[in-house]
Structure 1
Amino acid sequence: MYYSSIGILSLVLHVIINSDTLFRKRNDGRVKVRKKYRSFLFAIMTYYVADSLWGLLLEMGLISLTYVDTVFFFLSMGLSVFMWLNYIAAFLNMNEFWTRVLKVIAWLVLGSETVALIVNFFVPVMFYFNENGEYVASAARYYILIVQLVLFALIAIDTFVVAAKLKERKRRHFIAIGLSGMIMALFILLQAFFPMMPFYSVGCLLATTIIHSFVVVDERVESSRQLDAAKTVAYKDSLTNVRNINAYTEFKENVDKDIKRGVITEFAVVVFDLNDLKQVNDTRGHEAGDKYIQDGCRLICHVFRHSPVFRIGGDEFVSFLMNADYMNRANLIVIFNKHIDRNLERGGVIVSSGISEFDAASDSGYDEVFSRADELMYSRKKELKQIKSEMFVR
């Protein structure tokens, strides 16, 4: 039972540690490598099952079933080596020639082990059970284990050599892969000399844990960072550096979800529109028009600095007020309009605004609040145009 308990524990820890890789698919630039590693992990799981059953069946004296499981044991070990070599070829991003060489070696190792196990039914070249039901290892078993040991060791050494030429992050990944290969080689050696001890199970667990800790998790963090960076670019307006229409659309959807769940009960929407942008573009050029948009955005962000601001059109902006800004919304609008009044006198950027609050009793979603704020913004726009025209008359 002691022998089997190591295999069972290794299987449980293996699934816990690698559950994300085993059962969750990710679509990124490392899909091919991840698929190879996932196949290797499943092969290791197969080995753990065979190893765990071996100890139980032998202890129960079921020699015929133990013999069948021993065949399964060696096949699953050979499969794990085969999948490991395929993973390494993908991870190291080898050229086509060396990838083919490694695949041929992988098939030769798996094929020779399979042939040896078939021959073993007739001539005990791999193993046999004596008249006392004791497991006895034969010569071919040692040859095959030595070949696997040498493969792991050579690939580990090659990985260390490559690692020396790489930058810090990639070097860390390659060193982890090389170290895991060395561990596999060491525990294959121990398994060869101590067949009644589950050393290969322990080696597989240590090796996959190292890869998970120093490669898989690190790649996942880096992938998440790149995704966040790409999302930031995709959600940022290039001219003003505030959030763009993509971010606004997603934000609206999330607000509606929160409204339905009752998470949000108090918020206000401020809609902004730049007056006279077309006139600026027509008379002073598009470069001046871009600066006009930037000046307007800068003013909005200055007054509503604690709230998210979105550019949703060429000259349209929206700010979403919650918490302190929501409580102070009336004062903020007064401050903003004072800036606009001064700009009217000084010839600065003119921005119309309208604000509306969410009414939980009558509003079913965000768009109703936006529509009211938009109407008020257009009313303010007419008002500002009227004031400007009167100033010119005077």
Structure 2
Amino acid sequence: MESLLHSLMAVTCAIVLLVSLPQFKKTWDKRDPQDRSFARLVIWVILFCLNDGIWAIIATNHPHHETLLFASTTIFFAAAAITAYLWLDYTLCYLGKRIHHPKAYRIPALLLVVAQFALLLINIKYQFLFSVNESGYYRKTITAQYLFYMQYATYIFIGIVCLIKMKTGIKKKDRRKFTAVFLCVLAPIICGILQLFFPFAPFFSIGYMLGCCVIFTHVVIHMTRQTIYRQDSAIMAALSADFDLICYIDTQRKDVRFQTMNPRFKQIFDEDINSGLPSTQKLDKFLRTVIVPEDLPEFLKHGSCENSISELAKEPTFVTRVRVKIDNVIEFYELKIVHDSESNLTGYVIGMHNISHEERIKEETEKLKHDLMRTTLIASRDPLTGVNNRAAFNQKSDELLRDIEQGKSVEFAIIECDLNNLKIVNDQLGHEAGDLFIKTNCRAFCETFKHSPVYRIGGDEFVIVVQGSDYEERDALLDKLRSLREPNEPLRADRISFAAGIAEFDSQVDKTPADVLKRADAFMYIHKRHIKKREHAQESWE
């Protein structure tokens, strides 16, 4: 009955670990030495528990299989020795860099395993550790205790190291790891001591199973959380590749979670931000450190905790811009603040996106646009007078033509002005005087028709496209312009002398602005002939 109970309990321990193993495999990473080490330990403990169950059946129910029992017992002690080493191996992998010089731990443990194997091999011939008599009954000597001491020296050593580390001034996160390892190794130590007092009870199997379950509880669950966190971080990083910093602010718990993608931001957090500060104060200090002081009041106006909540109560998201200064370099950042709709206004997300590149493109675009406008303006301006040139008039004509073809109600008139005797001024007074003569008359055209564009379409030819309020008063304004004309004598460079003709657009007569210009040109020549005739008559009278 005792052997059956021993066997059932050992097999049950193996089944418990077999059931837990698939859950571990859901989260383990085959490339991670820690995960591989734990998998080896669990699988080996499962095999050990099954062997323990088989040994109990053979030892009590099959007294005439002395060779099988001796072999099973030898395998049992050898497996226990390997289990101790695998336990140490996992402990070192789990603690990682927190344990200095891991070889100093591995080599003695490995030597203990080799020593136990040597004793077991010698025992095959001399049977000074344990033996099976001719009747098939198992007998263990006092010397067999040395195998136990060798195995449990490893566990006790691990426990002592963890206790010492837990008492020293290490970080809270590291202390939790050493505590977890101590609890893991405590189970096989206690059960091993019980095994001394109850040699035919399955305390070895129970201790190993409990130790592995403690690892599951304190390590694998933590590993699962870490895996989920890494996955969440990877998803966040992929979705927020354009952001240099993302933080979730839980205003109810007064907690902030950071995700930095910019190495310079991370360096500031690591070097300039006190790790002992609460997370909310870390964020506040970071922002005050990097944001240009002139932009900080505007940011606090929208980006402070209270103001962000009030802003987000109106809209689910809002954006503000700040300048950030790092390493004496100023860059533009866009801060996007988004409300966490699931937390009932108790949480929100701030993302910092570097828009310096966009700002530079915007500046370059504005500059190109300005340069293009300037170039267009230069190309459409007469360099002497500063008014529009023939190219600009042609463009204006095209615009009017489109309106006409689209059937829009168009009202405009064209006045053509031709300067009188420009050649004479140039010949007698010089070209500088001729330029002054052109500019003086042009100024008169512009000052009279203040709301209409003036175009110089030739050396001495000007066109005025009369629209709007000037069109309503076109006759009065033309009379005013003609009244400015001065007689030719005495010949001066600053005199006003021209002939002008006007024609209004008539949809019944004109199909294009060119038709209006042709009629204005005709009226201008009529006016020019009238001026010459009158001047000739005046000269004859004199």
Tell me, yes or no, if the aligned pair for 1:11 and 1:48 is still in contact at 8 Å.
yes
1:282 is aligned with what amino acid?
A: T
**1:167-246 equivalent positions in 2, closer than 5 A:** 167-238=171-242
SS at match of 1:136: strand
**1:308-327 equivalent positions in 2, closer than 5 A:** none
Of residues 245, 266, 282 in structure 1, which corresponds to 2:365? 282
SS at match of 1:98: coil
Question: Cα gap change, 1:145/1:22 in structure 2, threshold over 3 Å: closer, same or farther?
Answer: farther
Q: How much has 1:201 moved relative to structure 2?
A: 0.4
SS at match of 2:365: helix
> What corresponds to 2:491 in structure 1?
none
SS at match of 2:126: coil
Question: Cα gap change, 1:176/1:97 in structure 2, threshold over 3 Å: closer, same or farther?
Answer: closer
Higher gyration radius (CA): 2
In the superposition, the TM-score normalised over structure 2's length comes to 0.42
Q: How much has 1:167 moved relative to structure 2?
A: 3.7
Q: How much has 1:25 moved relative to structure 2?
A: 4.4
String of CA shifts for 1:232-278, please: whole Å, max 9, x gaps.
02212536999xxxxxxxxxxxxxxxxxxxxxxxxxxxxxxxxxx97
> What corresponds to 1:48 in structure 2?
49
Of residues 110, 114, 136 in structure 2, which corresponds to 1:111? 114
Q: How much has 1:11 moved relative to structure 2?
A: 0.4
In the superposition, the TM-score normalised over structure 1's length comes to 0.57
Tell me, yes or no, if the aligned pair for 1:6 and 1:198 is still in contact at 8 Å.
yes
Q: Say which structure is richer in strand.
A: 2
Percent identical pairs in the alignment equals: 18
Question: Cα gap change, 1:24/1:193 in structure 2, threshold over 3 Å: closer, same or farther?
Answer: same
> What corresponds to 1:3 in structure 2?
6
Separation (CA, whole Å) in 2 of partners of 1:81 and 1:166: 27
Q: Is 1:122–2:122 an aligned residue pair?
A: no
String of CA shifts for 1:164-207, please: whole Å, max 9, x gaps.
44444442232121122122112112223321111010001111
Q: How much has 1:44 moved relative to structure 2?
A: 0.9
Q: Report runs of 4+ in structure 1 exceeding 4 Å deviation.
A: 22-25, 94-97, 239-242, 277-281
Decide which moves more: 77-86 or 34-43: 34-43
> What corresponds to 1:35 in structure 2?
36
Structure with more contact order per residue of length (Cα contacts < 8 Å, sep ≥ 6): 1
1:206 is aligned with what amino acid?
A: L
String of CA shifts for 1:344-394, please: whole Å, max 9, x gaps.
xxxxxxxxxxxxxxxxxxxxxxxxxxxxxxxxxxxxxxxxxxxxxxxxxxx
> What corresponds to 1:91 in structure 2?
94
Tell me, yes or no, if the aligned pair for 1:146 and 1:189 is still in contact at 8 Å.
no
Tell me, yes or no, if the aligned pair for 1:145 and 1:189 is still in contact at 8 Å.
no
1:141 is aligned with what amino acid?
A: A
Question: Cα gap change, 1:38/1:284 in structure 2, threshold over 3 Å: closer, same or farther?
Answer: farther
Q: Is 1:69–2:72 an aligned residue pair?
A: yes
Question: Cα gap change, 1:194/1:94 in structure 2, threshold over 3 Å: closer, same or farther?
Answer: farther
Tell me, yes or no, if the aligned pair for 1:22 and 1:42 is still in contact at 8 Å.
no
> What corresponds to 2:159 in structure 1?
156
Q: Structure 2 regions of 5+ residues with no counterpart?
A: 247-359, 369-542
SS at match of 2:139: strand
Tell me, yes or no, if the aligned pair for 2:66 and 2:133 is still in contact at 8 Å.
no
Separation (CA, whole Å) in 2 of partners of 1:54 and 1:96: 37
Question: Cα gap change, 1:66/1:102 in structure 2, threshold over 3 Å: closer, same or farther?
Answer: same
Separation (CA, whole Å) in 2 of partners of 1:71 and 1:186: 23
Q: How much has 1:35 moved relative to structure 2?
A: 1.3
Separation (CA, whole Å) in 1 of partners of 2:26 and 2:39: 9
Separation (CA, whole Å) in 1 of partners of 2:245 and 2:210: 47
String of CA shifts for 1:118-151, please: whole Å, max 9, x gaps.
1111111221123543322123320121232232
Question: Cα gap change, 1:281/1:124 in structure 2, threshold over 3 Å: closer, same or farther?
Answer: same
> What corresponds to 1:348 in structure 2?
none
1:52 is aligned with what amino acid?
A: G
Tell me, yes or no, if the aligned pair for 1:127 and 1:138 is still in contact at 8 Å.
yes
Tell me, yes or no, if the aligned pair for 1:172 and 1:214 is still in contact at 8 Å.
no
Q: How much has 1:66 moved relative to structure 2?
A: 1.5
Question: Cα gap change, 1:144/1:9 in structure 2, threshold over 3 Å: closer, same or farther?
Answer: same
> What corresponds to 2:428 in structure 1?
none
